Structure 1
Amino acid sequence: MPRLSGCAFFSDKIMQAKVDLLHTGAEAMFADLGHFSKKAIQIAFLSSIYPSLVLTYAGQTAYLINNVNDFSDGFYKFIPRPVYWPMFVIATLAAIVASQSLISATFSVIKQSVVLDYFPRVKVVHTSHQKEGEVYSPEINYILMVLCVGVILGFGGGKEIGNAFGVVVIMVMLITTIMLTLVMIIIWRTPPVFVGMFFIPFVIMEGSYVSAVFTKIPEGGWLPFAVSMILALIMFVWYYGRQRKIEYEMANKITMERLGQLLAMPEVQRVPGLCFFYSNIQDGLTPILGHYIKNMSSLHTVTIFVTLRYLLVSKVDQRERVLIKRLGPRGVYQCTVQYGYADNLSLKGGDDLVAQVMRCLKRHIAMSTDRRSSVSTEEEIANLEAASLAGVVHVRGKMRFYVGDDAGCFDKVMLRSYEFLHSICRSALPALGMPLQQRVEIGMLYKV
């Protein structure tokens, strides 16, 4: 009997596709990782989820054995009439809970993609100071709402939605198996024998399911592939544009020698004030700086090039948050601000980002031993305070690609698509709350 049932299972693709729907929803349990502890999920699965599923399927099986003609809607008919509506309410609530776990998982995946710079920047709100994985994104939430309403209105029935869901689940399982196998080979250096013992059984079973659910593609199963292709295209466009941007900036970055030459030009004046110049380049300075000096013929007496670095921790210790380095020219410094997901970098309030940088800069000047000018410590600190009193300005670059006529069609389409995504996504800077009167944006064309 086991041999016959196995042969029937692997030969009947329609039956396999239907069986695949039995374990859809189990992935919601793993989507909760990062939002709940591993132990909590294990306890919930063993004490509640698994017994409930077994009893439910056993009850449906017993009912269908005696009522063969009710196979199309046996899920509803096997429930005793007195408890039908209470069960209906519980099932609805369970569906809400399951959908919430998938929504939370979407937030986590998008957040990780944004951190890796593979996805356009969206607002991410950390709802917990203890767990880095508990996040919420309002933009993604609204997109999910629109997609959910669109799918329901477009399909109009549960059959197509179920087919789409089944395709998603089994494809995720197959992709997870492949990715875990790569981790075993590349990262863990697992012996090939053990890799094969893991990979072969799972890929045979899941590959059989995948071939079965392909029969459901014309009946709603195409939706996951369409959404995946759109997301993959967005991520590829964003990554391609970011790489071209980084390549241009690294090839045209301003070195300390070049900065000294620019400031030595007779038409360039040092104007009073404190300037925070934001850049994402740590080894060198952004080419927008050269564009700024050439066109404005000036630079503030104290200019601090600020790079914001996100760390995967809740809060960064105050002693490690601001890293200061003196650059070659007088009054020019480089500052790296490190922050965690629960840190507040607002420019509002008594101890704002400016105050923290100023405090660390004064301490760095007082303790510094790498003095490169004849200016004394007291005089340098006095110049810093005078520049702060003269006014603070925050400068950030805003680039656009200039695609020449000799560029290929692929470059034109990809870079223009990247510019569109860049124009509608959030700023690379966090919500610092810069006063409008202190904010300056310098535009520059990157010729590629």
Structure 2
Amino acid sequence: MDLEAGPIRPRSDGGGPAVGKETDGCNVRKDLFLAYKTLGVVFGGLVTSPLYVYPSMNLSSPTEADYLGIYSIMFWTLTLIGVVKYVCIALNADDHGEGGTFAMYSLLCRHADIGILPSKKVYSEEEALLDNQSAMARRPSKLGKFFEQSITARRVLLFIAVLGMCMLIGDGILTPAISVLSAIDGLRGPFPAVSRPVVEALSAAILIGLFLLQKFGTSRVSFLFSPIMAAWTFTTPIIGLYSIIHYYPGIFKAISPYYIVHFFLRNKRQGWQLLGGTVLCITGAEAMFADLGHFSRKAIQIAFLSSIYPSLVLTYAGQTAYLINNANDFADGFYKFVPRPVYWPMFVIATLAAIVASQSLISATFSVIKQSVVLDYFPRVKVVHTSQHKEGEVYSPEINYILMVLCVGVILGFGGGKAIGNAFGVVVIMVMLITTVLLTLVMIIIWRTPLVLAGLYFIPFFIMEGAYVSAVFTKIPEGGWLPFAVSIILALIMFGWYYGRQRKTEYEMTNKVSLEHLGELLARPEVQRVPGLCFFYSNTQDGLTPVLGHYIKNMSSLHTVTIFVTLRYLLVAKVDQSERILIRRLGPNGVYGCTVQYGYADSLTLEGGDDLAAQVMNCLRWHIQMDSAGRRPPVSVEEEMARLEAARLAGVVHVRGKMRFHVGEDAGWFDRIMLGFYEFLHGVCRPALPVLGMPLQQRVEIGMLYKV
């Protein structure tokens, strides 16, 4: 249906770049406040990494030179990947405030014709206008043309984006497990009698409690968690400074890259293998990017540069200074370097901080799942917006409880933190390498960065992260297989859903009913207009669903008044009531088109005491009166109003089309497997259209089989 949309308000929630948004002193104070809140949600994996980096390294007879080399590697990894790559560059590659690998893929699809399926997202007029002006002002780059012309390249790009999303979900499983387990393991120092199963049981109980809190939303949780993370962020560097002064004041000489070179020359193969442990110092950086929808870019940058980065640099320096004088304590590198008088306060803070670390990856997982569902690359799950002001703050009950089961399963199944650390390293670096590739494409295709500058970004980071990848791959037999297993399962689900949706979209576009064809169908002598009012729901944005033609041909009838309803999801909080429902006369008598526009904080069930059908009827009456003033309708206003009221009194029915695949015996084996899998997913996922407050006795589903 070609329905005209009214002006929609731009975003103004601070969760991303808003059109026409001014920066003033009030916004600066808001960013500082959000920076404090950000400590409690976004950086969990990063700030708790001192708990498990050194314990995950398999050191043998380490020397002072070894520790200096390890600290130098961690310092430059934090600086280059954390500061340069993510804070300075990646945070700018957002898709209307959303971050992460799938957001970058969506950004590429909007600026170049490289997508596979059309996006269901609809942006505000101002945002869409800016995107169109930007695209029209520049011709496609050579790389963009290559992707547009090659379906193979587009599928490879989709696979890379899907793999990155799957790896981040794997991160959401492993970060809570390793963070909480490493923190609770501190009980075994003062109390050696505490067994490993007791630590695992306590960790599992804490995680279950955390997942049960998710339904209250990120904002409410962050108010509780921000003071905890602030305490952790500012106490660990103080202990680090104490250890530096007490054990090794000259530790910062290790900032020199000379110590990295000397470390690899001395340790050779073993030094390369130790990269699998040092990579954990930057865990959580990708979640920081994926959590961009929860907080503004500036808030994340302020929080990272002013507190997180210096805190990590000083904490790792303090741990290294302690270990230089206590070379064999690396198996418990964090708790051993904590002075005895403050051990228990730090244990409490560490445990609470580990809970916050888990929150950061859980929130990131909700964000990427929501992005993929909206883009129609993942089976529909329930997504609840927990904030009236931020589109990015979401919660999914199904995903939440699946994550909870998997996290507890990892703790009870793996037991020791070393195996989880091996799996963790694989996830961390793989998703970072994927981000590097996608970000390079964004630079070249969208930002039009000169190839020389794009190469200066891509080559160093690809080499550095490639070295990390080669090291962590050696850990696959020792627990690193877990994220690959999870990613393969998720990728199969996404690919099965994508393949089915692609075939369905192709069929609908080929067989959609035009307005001319609708008129021809209704003009047939065997087709009767039966009394009643019919709301015919469809998610086809351009044209009428093929289910309509199937319905008319088989039933030989259509209600005297039929309203084709299409829902449009806008990236705004709330749509003004004057713009909520748009009506248009489609041509044949008694046939209308209706677009219901809603934002992420709007309710589609009941509003103002009227259900959706009553609101549409009110808008239709108003449209009939206003439309008659501008042109001469085929019937008088009185006749049209009388027909509408008679149809309402005769009975209201809500019709929803449901197209299913029928895989015949002559279909190929690939179609049999993939479309059968899609039908299974389609049967267990949530319906495409919400209930909308329809009475049960008025609902009708029209099925249609598409033979393959």
Q: Using the TM superposition, give the Cα deviation of residue 374 of structure 1 relative to its aligned residue in structure 2, in angstroms.
A: 3.5
Kept in 1, the 8 Å contact 2:370–2:383? The answer is: yes
* SS of residue in 1 equivalent to 2:292: coil
Code of the residue aligned with 2:389 in structure 1: it is Q
- Do residues 446 (structure 1) and 697 (structure 2) align? no
Code of the residue aligned with 2:594 in structure 1: it is C
Tell me which residue corresponds to 1:304: 563
* SS of residue in 1 equivalent to 2:293: coil
Q: Equivalent of 1:231, from 481, 485, 490?
A: 490
Kept in 1, the 8 Å contact 2:290–2:367? The answer is: no
* Structure 1 Cα separation of the partners of residues 468 and 582 of structure 2: 54
- Do residues 399 (structure 1) and 659 (structure 2) align? yes
* Structure 2 Cα separation of the partners of residues 425 and 283 of structure 1: 25
**Cα distance change of structure 1 residues 149 and 291 upon mapping to structure 2, 3 Å threshold:** same
Q: Using the TM superposition, give the Cα deviation of residue 426 of structure 1 relative to its aligned residue in structure 2, in angstroms.
A: 0.5
Q: Equivalent of 2:673, from 413, 434, 438?
A: 413
Q: Equivalent of 2:400, from 141, 151, 155?
A: 141
* Structure 2 Cα separation of the partners of residues 14 and 96 of structure 1: 30
Identify the structure with the greater helix proportion. 2
Matched ranges for 1:89-238 at <5 A: 89-238=348-497
Kept in 1, the 8 Å contact 2:294–2:390? The answer is: yes
Tell me which residue corresponds to 2:518: 259
Which consecutive unaligned segments of at least 5 residues does structure 1 have? none
Q: Equivalent of 1:5, from 236, 239, 260?
A: 260
Q: Deviations over 1:272-307 (max 9, x none)?
A: 211100112233222212222233332111000111
Kept in 2, the 8 Å contact 1:110–1:119? The answer is: yes
Kept in 1, the 8 Å contact 2:512–2:545? The answer is: yes
- Do residues 331 (structure 1) and 590 (structure 2) align? yes
* Structure 1 Cα separation of the partners of residues 349 and 506 of structure 2: 55
Kept in 2, the 8 Å contact 1:400–1:445? The answer is: yes
* Structure 1 Cα separation of the partners of residues 596 and 650 of structure 2: 23
* Structure 2 Cα separation of the partners of residues 9 and 309 of structure 1: 57
* Structure 2 Cα separation of the partners of residues 384 and 282 of structure 1: 25
Percent identical pairs in the alignment equals 82
* SS of residue in 2 equivalent to 1:336: strand
Tell me which residue corresponds to 1:362: 621
Code of the residue aligned with 1:425 in structure 2: it is C
Tell me which residue corresponds to 2:314: 55
Kept in 2, the 8 Å contact 1:124–1:135? The answer is: yes
Q: Using the TM superposition, give the Cα deviation of residue 337 of structure 1 relative to its aligned residue in structure 2, in angstroms.
A: 1.3
* SS of residue in 2 equivalent to 1:368: helix
The more displaced of 432-441 and 287-296 is 287-296
Q: Deviations over 1:123-163 (max 9, x none)?
A: 11111121111111111101111111121122111111111
**Cα distance change of structure 1 residues 2 and 332 upon mapping to structure 2, 3 Å threshold:** closer
Code of the residue aligned with 2:356 in structure 1: it is V
Code of the residue aligned with 1:121 in structure 2: it is R
Code of the residue aligned with 1:300 in structure 2: it is H
Q: How many residue pairs get matched?
A: 448
Tell me which residue corresponds to 2:156: none
* Structure 2 Cα separation of the partners of residues 428 and 202 of structure 1: 41
Q: CA RMSD in A?
A: 2.0
**Cα distance change of structure 1 residues 247 and 419 upon mapping to structure 2, 3 Å threshold:** same
* SS of residue in 2 equivalent to 1:227: helix
Code of the residue aligned with 2:701 in structure 1: it is E
Code of the residue aligned with 1:246 in structure 2: it is T
* Structure 2 Cα separation of the partners of residues 203 and 215 of structure 1: 19
* Structure 1 Cα separation of the partners of residues 359 and 257 of structure 2: 39
**Cα distance change of structure 1 residues 125 and 14 upon mapping to structure 2, 3 Å threshold:** same
Q: Using the TM superposition, give the Cα deviation of residue 28 of structure 1 relative to its aligned residue in structure 2, in angstroms.
A: 4.1
Kept in 2, the 8 Å contact 1:28–1:98? The answer is: no
Q: Using the TM superposition, give the Cα deviation of residue 4 of structure 1 relative to its aligned residue in structure 2, in angstroms.
A: 5.9
Code of the residue aligned with 2:689 in structure 1: it is L
Kept in 2, the 8 Å contact 1:9–1:16? The answer is: no
**Cα distance change of structure 1 residues 372 and 334 upon mapping to structure 2, 3 Å threshold:** farther
